[in-house]
Homo-oligomer: A and B are copies of this chain.
């Protein structure tokens, strides 16, 4: 398992309720690919969504997004983290 950050565009003006609905739609299908979404952040001005997940592969992250109906624009594997 590895950590991933993915980035979506096209959420200009989106609300917390819409982000929550998007997050929930991914959570409903994540088990099919062994993905666990942890947190999502939204910049409603620029329409950017960032998701932090744990998954077996980048392809699994992409497939969950496709299954949930909103493909991720970019997925990065981030094996290194500092706090």
When distances are taken between beta carbons in the complex, the residues of chain B under 8 Å from A3 are 41
Interface residues on A, range: 20 to 34
Give the residues from 13 to 52 in chain A that come closer than 8 angstroms, CB to CB, to chain B: 14-16, 19-20, 23, 38-46, 48, 50, 52
Query: In the complex, which residues of chain B have a beta carbon less than 8 angstroms from the beta carbon of A43?
Result: 5, 76-79
Copies in the complex: 2
Provide the main secondary structure of the chain A interface: strand
Q: How far is the CA of A78 from the CA of B15 in the complex (A)?
A: 11
A40 in contact with B79 (CB, 8 Å): no
Interface residues of A (CB under 8 A from B): 3, 5, 14-16, 19-20, 23, 38-46, 48, 50, 52, 76-83
